[in-house]
């Protein structure tokens, strides 16, 4: 089996470790991994802000880059949903878009639903984890149990968190168009955050936003992409 990694521009720049972890984990599970070098951004920032022409040309570009791939895996729920769901709105009737949609997965979704892997190892034995459900993973992809299952089966304890399924306030351009509201939303997440060994999520944007805000408030907690934790689950 061969997977093309779409690392996403945010992870490429800010969570390169998530890309590394994804490659290592997939290889360890016997999957060949390609990384098409021309990839950049899926176009979501432009799409969500209403710039459909700009988004459409980035979508077309991405279609070309991953045309030959057997599967496309992203360490991001939001960008995966952009490719899987919103390309079809941007490019209605485009068969390539439909084919890409069908073979695109968020990492934990790919592991559980395609590879059928639910046990990675015991590398997270005794660790407590606060899991932030990224909105697009949760509500657009329906990815909810997959990451939790993989984490729990590796010995981690997911701590109850009343705001776990609430939006963190990142929202892409929202975070700078309405910064006060965005920060108030982060504060609500952080004020309810349980004391855990790590805070994790599928999405780099949420983590960047929450880490920055927690740092500003002097709150120290390890904040780490899901891919990194899944690799730790495997490698110990």
Partner 1 sequence: MQVKAKLYPKEAARLLREHPGVREAVTGATLHFEANRKRAYQEIDAEIWRERARRVKDHLLTHLDHYLELAEKRLQEKGVRVYWAEGPEEAHRILREIVARHGVKRAVKAKSMLTEELGVNPLLESLGVEVYETDLGEYLIQLLGEPPSHIVGPAIHLALSDIQRLFHGRFGTPLDASPEALAAVARKVLREAFLTADLGISGANFLVAETGTLALMENEGNIRLSTSLPRVHVAFVGIEKLLPRFADLALFLPLTARAATGQRLSTYVSLIQGPAKEGEEGPKEVHVVLVDHGRTTLLHDPEAWEVLRCLRCGACLNACPVYRQTGGHPYGYVYSGPIGAVLDPGLLGLEDTYPLPYASTLCGACYEACPVKIPIPKLLLTWRKRAVERGLAPTWERGAIQAFSKVMQSPSLYRFFSKALRGLPLPQDLLPLLKAWTEGRGPLRPSPKPFHQLWQELKE
- By CB under 8 A, name the binding residues for partner 1: 7, 9, 11-20, 23, 35, 37-41, 43, 45-52, 54, 57-58, 61, 89, 135-136, 138-140, 166-167, 169-186, 188, 208-209, 212-213, 215-216
Taking the least distance from each CB to partner 1, the nearer of 118 and 192 is 192
106: phi then psi, degrees, rounded to nearest 5: -75, 150
Smallest distance from partner 1 to CB 164, Å: 13
Smallest distance from partner 1 to CB 212, Å: 3
Smallest distance from partner 1 to CB 104, Å: 18
First to last CA, the chain: 25
Taking the least distance from each CB to partner 1, the nearer of 34 and 94 is 34
Taking the least distance from each CB to partner 1, the nearer of 7 and 158 is 7
Taking the least distance from each CB to partner 1, the nearer of 36 and 155 is 36
Smallest distance from partner 1 to CB 62, Å: 10
Smallest distance from partner 1 to CB 30, Å: 17
Dihedral angle computed from the Cα positions of residues 49, 208, 214 and 219, in that order, rounded to the nearest 10 degrees: 170
d(CA 150, CA 220): 25
Taking the least distance from each CB to partner 1, the nearer of 59 and 112 is 59
């Amino acid at each position: 089996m061969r997977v093309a990694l779409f690392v996403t521009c945010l992870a490429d720049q800010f969570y390169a470790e998530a890309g590394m972890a994804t490659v290592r984990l997939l290889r360890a599970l016997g999957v060949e991994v390609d990384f098409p070098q021309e990839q950049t951004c899926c176009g979501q920032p432009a799409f969500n802000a209403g710039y459909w022409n700009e988004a459409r040309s980035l979508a077309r570009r991405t279609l070309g880059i991953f045309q030959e791939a057997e599967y496309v895996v992203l360490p991001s729920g939001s960008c995966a949903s952009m490719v899987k769901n919103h390309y079809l709105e941007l490019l209605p009737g485009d068969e390539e878009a439909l084919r890409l949609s069908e073979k695109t997965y968020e990492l934990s979704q790919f592991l559980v639903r395609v590879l059928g892997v639910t046990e990675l190892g015991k590398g997270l034995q005794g660790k407590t984890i606060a899991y932030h459900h990224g909105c697009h993973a949760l509500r657009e992809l329906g990815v909810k149990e997959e990451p939790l299952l993989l984490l729990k089966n590796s010995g981690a304890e997911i701590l109850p968190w009343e705001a776990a399924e609430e939006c963190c306030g990142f929202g892409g351009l929202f975070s700078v168009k309405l910064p006060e509201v965005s920060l108030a939303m982060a504060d609500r997440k952080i004020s309810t955050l349980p004391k855990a060994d790590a805070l994790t999520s599928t999405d780099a944007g949420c983590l960047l936003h929450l880490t920055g805000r927690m740092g500003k408030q002097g709150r120290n907690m390890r904040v780490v992409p899901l891919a990194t934790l899944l690799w730790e689950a495997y490698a110990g």
